[in-house]
Amino acid sequence: MTDTSAKKDTQKLQRAIVDALEDVKAQEIVVFDTEEMSPLFERVIIASGTSNRQTKALAASVRDKVREAGYPKPRIEGEDNGEWIIVDCGSAVAHIMQPTIRSYYNLEEIWGDKPVRLKLGAPKPAEPARKPVAKKKANVSAGRTPTRRDSVPVGPMGSEALKPTRKPATKTAVAKTAGAKTAVKSAAKPTKPASKSAAKPAAKSASRSSAKTATKSVSKPATKAKPKA
């Protein structure tokens, strides 16, 4: 196996171990290059688990992930205790420890001369873009459907400032309007009949004149007929 293929193989194994640790929420994952420090392995990976149950779950996850990647089954030590579990994967060794044990033995001081920069978090497949759904705006505060008045923006002086002001009518228009009203009233008024007081004297004078004429004609004596000679 050439050096290039060996490095790719080590990087692939390193990635599988780190992914397995992230799947079970391991804390403070660090990777160190130990190729020049030991002929037995090329990578040392240290991670923390908060309890015996989590450290055992982390070790099981590393074992399964490494086997799925096509590597031989790792050898596991310290699984019964759970405080410090070593998973030997060949060219990479994972130390899964509880925080108190990790701070006490401080393996970073022993193997941490060449830390490896590693991007944590496996890339996830991109989800298809979803079209935004237009939501209908509702007048939630008033509990009713929005009206045309609600859609009018309110200015700095309030909604009353946005109302159009009516222009005062000119003098000519006022005069025309007054004249039209007067003509309509005069046309609508019914004509009053002649008063009774004016009709009474005319009737009295007419009756008196006819009575006098009749009296004269009655009181005038008839002319006697002259005797014939």
CA neighbor of 47 nearest in space, from 101, 3, 91, 2: 101
Q: What is the mean pLDDT of residues 127-135?
A: 57
Instruction: State yes or no: pLDDT of 205 exceeds 60.
Output: no
Write down the pTM of the prediction: 0.53
How do beta strands 43-48 and 27-33 pair?
antiparallel
- Confidence (pLDDT) at 163: 52
pLDDT tens readout for residues 70-110: 999 999 999 899 999 999 999 999 999 999 999 999 999 99
Model confidence at 229, pLDDT cuts 50, 70, 90, reads very low
Asked whether the beta carbons of 24 and 100 are under 8 A apart, the reply is no
CB burial string 107-121: b at 16+ within 10 A, e below: bbeebeeeeeeeeee
**CATH level 2 (architecture), domain 9-111:** 2-Layer Sandwich (3.30)
Model confidence at 12, pLDDT cuts 50, 70, 90, reads very high
Q: What is the DSSP string of 163-227?
A: SPPPPPPPHHHHHHHHHHHHHHHHHHSPPPPPPHHHHHHHHHHHHHHHHHHHHHHHHSPPPPPPP
Instruction: State yes or no: pLDDT of 132 exceeds 80.
Output: no
Bridge partners, 32 (sequence order): 44, 115
Instruction: State yes or no: pLDDT of 118 exceeds 80.
Output: no
Asked whether the beta carbons of 116 and 105 are under 8 A apart, the reply is no
Task: Give, for 155, the enclosing helix (H) or strand (E).
Answer: none
- Confidence (pLDDT) at 5: 82
Model confidence at 6, pLDDT cuts 50, 70, 90, reads confident
Instruction: State yes or no: pLDDT of 161 exceeds 50.
Output: no
CA distances from 151 to 30, 141, 145, 159, 211 (A): 58, 14, 11, 11, 91
Task: Give, for 51, the enclosing helix (H) or strand (E).
Answer: none
Any alpha helices (H) in 50-96, and if so which ranges?
Answer: 52-68
Asked whether the beta carbons of 42 and 35 are under 8 A apart, the reply is yes
Which residues fall within 8 angstroms of residue 23, CB to CB, at 6 or more apart? Answer: 61, 65
Average pLDDT value for the chain: 73
Residues comprising the chain, all counted: 229
Sequence ranges of the domains in the chain: 9-111
- Confidence (pLDDT) at 38: 87
